[in-house]
Amino acid sequence: MGSAPSTSGRDDEVTLIELIHLARPHILLRDKEIQHWLDRLERRHDELTQLVEHRLTTDPRNAPELAAVLWRFWWQRGHMAEGRQFLERAVAIDHPDREQVLKGLGTIAFRQGDPEVAEQAFLDRLELVQQETDRRKLADAFADLARMALRRGDFPAVRSYAERGYEAAAGLGPEAIGAPLHLRAAAARMEGRLDEARALYLESRALSERLGNLASVAGEDHNLFYVALHSGDRAEAEHRFRSSSQWIFAADDAYLRPYAMLDAGILALNDGDLERACQLVSAAQRIFDETGAIPDPDDRVELDHAVASLRDKLSDRFDGLWAAGRALNFEDARTLATRST
């Protein structure tokens, strides 16, 4: 017979649950304090893992409320495989937070390149939120389905879902239109409508800055980097790269880290610095591999084009430089990425 949890063990669980409850509004609303709360959760990562496992085993009725908060932590701090197995267990439990667990499962599966699981989770979530009166959740659910359509290359469906998201968000605060706006910009970028993409990304960036969502600001600077580069504006591209990578590396954002490496490599490729470009693109690919993530659809195109171009230009030197890039530790790769050009 197993022994009962110690008093100190129960006290530790209470403290951790209080931490999650305090973090919840900042993480779910992605306000300007989110990085602070993600940092606090990261410092207790091992204990949180034990807590969620214990609750799923002994108190499954209340476990989904933990997963509903922690999924963004698992995603953005590079714990996706761990988070997904918890979410797959929690999603089977009937709970008021099930729609948020479905969003977490769909997001992580999407980032891991599992479109079947991701789309089913997003569709199940849409069915739930359509039964509620929270139009913010409905707008967000349509945006997630727009994201799935973007990965399929179905641009009319992207625009259709994004417009339904706009309709759901009508009359709400500006944060409600953020995700549909971003997806409209991404579709325009992938279709080559660069002026439209730039205008939409700038609008999305300004909205994120006003809301204090600095990760999204950095993400839109990353996107504006490619719009500028493909428009032939080298100076603007470097400005956007510096702006995004500075925040990404300072915040140590695990999700955005490989994108900063990729951007540095593609800027070097554009400048003809082939050896540096190859090592940085390789380092970016290694980080994607290590975290079990795949690039977003628009960035997948950039990555594949860069690899093909480097193979062609470097010829028999490619394999050695690619191996050298994969062997770089993170600090050396970051130094190479941020070196002045």
Closest CA to 125 of 91, 149, 102, 97: 102
pTM of whole model > 0.75? Answer: yes
- Classify residue 92 as exposed, middle or buried by CB count within 10 Å of its CB (0-12, 13-18, 19+): exposed
- As given in the structure block, the two tokens for residue 327 are 């062997």
Q: What is the DSSP string of 105-159?
A: HHHHHHHTT-HHHHHHHHHHHHHHHTTSS-HHHHHHHHHHHHHHHHHHT-HHHHH
Q: Give residue 8's pLDDT band: very low, low, confident or very high (50, 70, 90).
A: low
Answer whether residue 9 shows pLDDT above 70.
Answer: no
Across the chain, mean pLDDT equals: 93
Q: Residue 7: is its pLDDT beyond 70?
A: no
Residue 149 has pLDDT above 70, yes or no: yes
Alpha carbons 183 and 205: distance in angstroms, whole number: 13
The answer to whether position 276 is within a domain reads: yes
Q: Is the pLDDT reported for residue 114 higher than 80?
A: yes
The neighbour count for residue 168, using CB atoms within 10 Å, is 23
Residue 204 counted as domain residue: no
Angle at 76 between CA 73 and CA 81, to 5 degrees: 80
Q: Is residue 247 part of a domain?
A: yes
Residue 294 maps to a domain:
yes
Assigned domain for 240 exists? yes
Give the H/E segment covering residue 245: helix 234-251
Instruction: Among 9-18, 143-152, 310-319, name the one with the lowest average pLDDT.
Output: 9-18
Nearest to 189 by CA among 230, 144, 218, 234: 230
Q: Does residue 156 form part of some domain?
A: no
Rounded CA gap, 319 and 331, in Å? 22
> Which range has the worst mean pLDDT, 5-9, 50-54, 203-207, 335-339?
5-9
Provide mean pLDDT across the span 108-134: 95
Interatomic CA distance for residues 194 and 325, integer angstroms: 31
User: What is residue 32's predicted lDDT score, i.e. its pLDDT?
Assistant: 85
pLDDT for 2 equals 41
Rounded CA separation 135/281 (Å):
40
Please say if the pLDDT value at position 119 is more than 90. Answer: yes
Which domain covers residue 340, as residue numbers? 215-341
The per-residue pLDDT for 341 is 54
Residue range 234-261: mean pLDDT, rounded: 95
Residue 175 has pLDDT above 90, yes or no: no
Return the structure tokens found at 3.
């022994």
Q: Is residue 305 part of a domain?
A: yes
pLDDT band of residue 117 (cuts 50, 70, 90) is very high
Tell me if 262 is assigned to some domain.
yes
Count how many domains the chain has.
1
